[in-house]
């Protein structure tokens, strides 16, 4: 398998939908794991930089060629090198959709070897809107499940009488 290394600075805060932000991170981490060979390292970092929170997901796999980096954000796009791995080509398009919804800048770069994905979350505004710890967003689906009282949204709807 791969090795997952996380380095998250304490006290980071952001605003947004915890479930969506969690899914964004899950998609990036799953993509990194799926597209790197056994023995690879996937690194997740979060730190405050220049007043904003920067999150980085990096791997030492084959990466994405510079010419394809914009194209991989389109729905159902799969690069030739990944056709033999499971997937639908929706992961990065969902990442971009959630990022745009939250005003997050996304950048793909070369990790030499591998891919580095950088997310720049805008600083929380100084108003009365509640802020969520970034660690809560990282729990994603678990936090969303707890907040929903255990309902996943997949249960059948009650029958009307």
Specify the pairing of strand 13-14 against strand 132-133: antiparallel
Listed residue (47, 23, 17) closest to 120, CA to CA: 47
pLDDT at 131: 45
Is residue 54 within 8 A of residue 119, CB to CB? The reply is yes
Q: At what angle do helices 18-34 and 91-102 cross, to 10 degrees?
A: 150
Residue range 51-67, pLDDT digits in tens: 889 999 999 998 888 88
Is residue 76 within 8 A of residue 90, CB to CB? The reply is yes
Residue range 78-104, pLDDT digits in tens: 555 444 555 555 568 888 889 999 999
Is residue 20 within 8 A of residue 102, CB to CB? The reply is yes
What's this model's pTM, rounded to 2 decimal places?
A: 0.70
Residue range 97-123, pLDDT digits in tens: 899 999 999 999 999 999 999 999 987
Q: List 115's β-bridge partners, or say none.
A: 110
């Amino acid at each position: 398998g791969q090795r997952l290394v996380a380095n998250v600075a304490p006290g980071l805060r952001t605003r947004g939908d915890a479930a969506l932000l969690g899914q964004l991170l899950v998609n990036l981490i799953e993509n990194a794991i799926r597209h790197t060979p056994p023995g690879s390292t996937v690194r997740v970092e979060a730190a405050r930089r220049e007043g904003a929170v920067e999150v980085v997901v990096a791997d030492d796999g084959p990466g994405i060629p510079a010419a394809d980096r914009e194209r991989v954000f389109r729905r159902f796009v799969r690069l030739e090198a990944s056709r033999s791995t499971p997937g639908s080509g929706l992961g990065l398009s969902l990442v971009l959709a959630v990022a745009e919804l939250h005003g997050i800048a996304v950048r793909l770069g070369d990790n030499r070897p591998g891919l580095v994905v950088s997310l720049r979350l805008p600083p929380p505004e100084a108003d009365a809107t509640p802020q969520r710890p970034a660690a809560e967003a990282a729990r994603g689906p678990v936090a969303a499940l707890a907040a929903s009282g255990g309902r996943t949204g997949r249960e059948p709807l009650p029958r009307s009488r």
